[in-house]
A = this chain, B = another copy of it.
Amino acid sequence: MDVQRLELLRELAERRSITEVARATHRTPSAVSQQLKVLEREAGLPLTERSGRGLILTDAGRALARSATDVAVALARARAVWDEFRNDATGEVSLVTFPTAGEMLLPGAVRSISAVPGLVVNCTDKDPELSDFPALTAEYDIVLAYSLRGQVPWGGRGLTVVPLMTEPLDVGLPAGHRLTSRSWITPADVIGETWIGAPEGYPFERILHQIEQKAGSQITIAQKFADLRVIEAFVVAGLGIALVPRYTWGGDQPGRLVLKPLRGVDAERQIVALMRPDRAERLAVRTVLEVLRTEAARVQAQHALIP
C-alpha cells in the first residue's frame, strides 16, 4: 500500500537485516520494524520469518519486494521526467570502481563532469577480490565491474547492466623476449613460459586455465599478484610473462614492456556499470553514465590509432 513501507521491504530484501536497513535509511531499527509490521498486517500474511537472531523474507515477502522495485523505478522515472523538464541533472552520484578501470576512465570522465554545474561524482575504488561488486549497488549509485565473456555473475539479481567497453587481454612480454617479433601469440607459443598470475578467484585465472587446455600442457605460475603495477614490474624484470589488459596498461615502461594480442582463447573482459534499476533512472546518474560511455569510446579509439 504505502510506498515508503514497500521501499523498506525492498531494502530489507537486499540488506538482509533490519539494523542495516535502519542504518541505510537513517532511522531507528524500531521504526523500521514497526513499519514492516504495519505492512505485514495490511498484506494479511507473514512477510518475514525469524531465523536465528536475524530474519529472512518469506516467498510472499520476496515477491512483494520485487514489485516494490517496479514502483521505485516508476517513481525514479517520474523524478527524471521533471528533472529533464528543468534541464537539471543536479545532485550527487556515488561510484565505485575496480582500480584499473578507475585509472583508465575516471580522470577523463570526472573532468567532463566538472563542466556540468551542480553535478558531483564521489568516486572510490575497491579491490574486486575483497568485495562482492553486485552487492555494492546497495551503497553506490554506479558500480564499475568487469566480467569475462560468457560469465554473468550479476544476472538474476535484477540489476541494471550497462556495458561500457570490451577490453582485450594481451600477453605482456619483457623487451628482447623471443616472442616480441611475433604479431600475435597462440597458446602453443607460450608452452614452457613462466607466468606471473593473479590470485585465486580473480577472473584472469580462468583465462590461464583456458590457455593450458588449448596448449595441452601445464602452465608454470611463478607469482600471483593482484596489482597490475607489480605484475608489470616483474615482467620487465624478466621474471615471467603475464596477461595485461590492453588499455589499462600503465605505459610507464616505454620500450621495456611489449604487448602482443592473444589468439585462440577468449581473452577479453567486459567493463560494465552495475546499478540498482531505480537508481539507473535518475537523470544525474544517466548523465554520468553517458560521460563514461563516451570516455570509454575515446580510450578505445586512442589505442586503435597507436597499436
Interface residues of A (CB under 8 A from B): 1, 3, 6, 43-45, 59-60, 63-64, 66-68, 70-71, 73-75, 77-79, 81-82, 85-86, 88
Q: Is the CB of A70 within 8 A of B64?
A: no
**Quick check: B63 and A70 within 8 Å, CB to CB?**
no
User: Within 8 Å CB of A82, what residues of B?
Assistant: 43-45, 60, 63-64, 67
Assess the A67–B81 pair: CB atoms within 8 A. yes
In the complex, what distance in Å separates the CA atom of A44 from the CA atom of B43? 36
Task: Please tell me if the beta carbons of A45 and B85 are within 8 angstroms of each other in the complex.
Answer: yes
Q: How far is the CA of A4 from the CA of B47 in the complex (A)?
A: 24
Could you tell me the distance between the alpha carbons of A63 and B70 in the complex, rounded to whole angstroms? 19
A66 to B82, CA, bound (A): 11
Cβ distance A249 to chain B, nearest Cβ, rounded Å: 45
**Contacts A81-B63, A81-B64, A85-B60 given; does A75 touch B3 at CB 8 Å:** yes
A and B contact pairs by CB, cutoff 8 A, 24 listed: A1-B79, A3-B3, A6-B78, A43-B82, A44-B82, A44-B86, A45-B85, A45-B86, A59-B85, A60-B82, A63-B81, A63-B85, A64-B78, A64-B81, A67-B78, A67-B81, A67-B82, A70-B77, A70-B78, A71-B74, A71-B75, A73-B74, A74-B74, A74-B75
Q: Which residues in B have their C-beta under 8 angstroms from that of A63?
A: 81-82, 85
Q: Is the CB of A67 within 8 A of B77?
A: yes
Enumerate chain B residues within 8 angstroms of A86, measured Cβ to Cβ. Answer: 44-45
A182 CB to nearest B CB, Å: 56
Separation in Å of the A1 CB from the closest CB of chain B?
Answer: 7
| Chain B residue at minimum C-beta to C-beta distance from A69 | B74
Residues of B within 8 A of A59 (CB): 85
Smallest CB gap from A79: residue in B: B1
Q: Which residues of B contact A77 (CB under 8 A)?
A: 67, 70
